[in-house]
Structure 1
Amino acid sequence: MTDPNEMGFFDHLEELRNRLIKSVGLWLIVFVICFIYAKPIFAWLAEPLVEISKSEHLFAATRFEEPFLANMRAAFWTSLILSSLIFFYHFWGFVAPALTKEEKWFAIPFIIFMALFFIAGCWFSFEYVFPYALSYLMEWNAGELNAFTRSSYLHMLFLFVMGMGVSFELPLVLLFLAKVGLVTSGFLLDKFRYAVVIIFIAAAIITPTPDPFMQTFLAAPILLLYLLGTGLAWLVQKKDEEEFEAMVQGADGDSAEDQDGTPISEDWQK
């Protein structure tokens, strides 16, 4: 195999293209399978609305092609979530050759947890966040004739699901930034008030209504994820400090000197 360190710019582009083709090809297989079972998948996705309204006859079609397009949309987003493991795997395959052995020990679980956290966020939103938001919105329709299009329902559903799935990546992003030395736990705690503002703005974008209570309900889990990421950053920082101290103590720094006569231990401390 070609040494990745000797690959040129266009060689890397070719490798990226091959990875993208493989990812999209495998995703298309998952999409076709999901589309074959689109009707039961849509029935499963509609369960939160069915449980709240206590009725299975809720959806109206304003156009002839609307049910077909809604089933396709349900298959598309479901296959995209299920294929996240494929995308993360090929992302790992693309960056792995450029990593050292030590970096791979960190990157392998990192990539795995990125996929698991994304799926966990989607599941958490579907099971808890979205049903609550839907119930809140349905209260405003009390006494009204409730008939919704499938597409409008799926649009709101996957807005919550995908938004929370991406939000669950926040602890891992902070962990990575701490690992490469861009942030520290103290810095994250110091900037917590700014994080609160940014998270509430993001929650306002995701939520379909300007209601502050629903916005808070969506922002609260993301704030907890930020604090979790801060804790992970502290663990990384503490581990790096312990490794540094062990390296200094393990060296014969009291007598060893570098070329300019400065003790090696003093150079490491600097």
Structure 2
Amino acid sequence: MALRRTPRDPEGRMTLAEHFREFRRRLVVSAIAVAVASIAIGVLYFEEVYALLSAPFNAYKDANPDSLITLNLGEATSPLSLTISLSLFAGIIVSSPVWLYQIWAFIVPGLTRKEKRLSLAFIGAVVPLFLAGVFVAYSVLPTALMVLYGFTPEGTSNIQDNAKYFAFVTRFLLVFGIAFLLPVFMVALNLLGLLASDFVFKHWRVATLLIMVFSAVATPTGDAFTMLLLGGPLLLLYLAAGGVMRLIEARRAKNRPEWATDLADDQASAL
């Protein structure tokens, strides 16, 4: 007798055990995607990745020929460690369509068909948003290095450890990329009924302050220019997310039964 699969709840509800299994499955899929992409890049394109990430450092060095600054491999195992870390970073970027989808699918598994169609355009923007954040960070990186290396005392050398330099660069890029996903998580919270558009627009001043504080902390330089390059787009994405949330709420209100239009979301009906 063939085993029958347990029918899926039409409202997307799952038991705690099912949630853990779903989380494990999506985590495994994401890990496999990152691993495959990392191995492929490490074998085929490591030199290109190394050249791309070291370009801002080399640009600063070329612009300041009198500065005693260089990248250094301090240990025998450093080349291997560097190859693994940069390949893993590039693998995370390349496989972002897979693991970003897995995160979204785990957060909002119970959407209705109409909600899925309404949010489809926004879901399609997840990967471009992440890559846009990485691109902005890479564009800002030369300025960040110029400011940071500008504090080097005169007459001293600045021998950079390869591992620490690339750790700084990759974290810098990932922070920007993940920060640009703010509207995605806002819309997800709205679809789960945890965040309303009225709250977003009512507290936009507080949100602006928090975004700028986050931008100042997340960016390693102390200049306002770098902070605004992260904070400005984040504020626009915050407001855009609020607009999408309002569209979703309007669609929900339109499809709500007439007998429920006068009821609050947490109020029981007489039926």
With 25-34 and 141-150 compared, the bigger mean Cα shift is at 141-150
When the two structures are superposed, what TM-score results if normalisation uses the length of structure 1?
A: 0.75
CA distance in 2, matches of 1:115, 1:100: 23
Q: Return the letter of the residue paired with 1:65.
A: T
Quick check: 1:4 aligned with 2:12?
no
Q: Which amino acid aligns with 1:2?
A: T
Hey, what does 2:134 align to over in structure 1? 122
Code of the residue aligned with 2:149 in structure 1: it is M
Matched, 1:218 2:230: yes
Matched position secondary structure for 2:261: helix
Using a 3 Å threshold, how does the CA distance of structure 1 residues 213 and 169 change in structure 2: closer, same or farther? same
2:209 match? 197
Structure 1 position 13, deviation (Å)? 3.2
Matched letter for residue 36 of structure 2: I
Q: Does structure 1 residue 268 correspond to structure 2 residue 261?
A: yes
CA shift at 1:142, angstroms?
7.9
Map 1:36-55 → 2, pairs under 5 A: 36=43, 37-54=45-62
Identity percentage of aligned residues: 26
**Offset at residue 42 of structure 1 (A):** 1.0
Equivalent residue, structure 2, for 1:14:
21
Q: Deviation per CA, 1:224-247: give whole Å up to 9, x if none.
A: 322332333344445555x36xx7
Post-superposition offset of 1:159? 2.2
Change (3 A) 1:141 1:220: farther
Contact 2:97 2:127 in 1 (8 A): yes
Q: How far does residue 182 in structure 1 lie from its aligned partner after superposition?
A: 4.0
Q: State yes or no: 1:112 paired with 2:124.
A: yes
User: Aligned pair 1:33/2:33, yes or no?
Assistant: no
- The residue that corresponds to 1:131 in the other structure is 142
Q: How far apart are the structure 2 equivalents of 1:188 and 1:15?
A: 30
Distance 2:236 2:211 in 1: 11
Task: Judge conservation of contact 1:35–1:75 (CA < 8 Å) in 2.
Answer: yes
Structure 1 185/267 Cα, relative in aligned 2: closer, same or farther at 3 Å?
closer
| Aligned: 1:230 with 2:230 | no
Shift of 1:88: 2.8
Amino acid at match of 1:147: I
CA contact (8 A) 2:179 2:234 kept: yes
Structure 1 residue runs of 4 or more that deviate by more than 6 Å after TM superposition = none
Query: TM-score normalized by structure 2?
Result: 0.75
Instruction: Tell me, yes or no, if the aligned pair for 1:167 and 1:222 is still in contact at 8 Å.
Output: yes
> Match of 1:262?
none
Q: Secondary structure at the match of 2:125?
A: helix
- What are the ranges of 5 or more consecutive residues in structure 1 without an aligned counterpart? 249-264
Q: Point out the structure with max Rg over C-alpha.
A: 1
2:92 pairs with 1:80: yes
8 Å CA contact 2:208–2:235 kept in 1: the answer is: yes
Structure-1 separation of matches of 2:240 and 2:107? 26
Preserved CA contact (<8 Å) 1:159 1:206: no
Aligned AA (1:90): Q
Taking the aligned partners of 1:188 and 1:84, their CA distance within structure 2 comes to: 28
Distance in 2 (CA, whole Å) between partners of 1:164 and 1:24 is: 22
* Distance apart, 1:215 and its partner CA: 3.5
Q: Distance in 2 between matches of 1:96 and 1:175?
A: 10
Select the structure that is richer in helix. 1
TM-superposed deviation, 1:184: 4.1
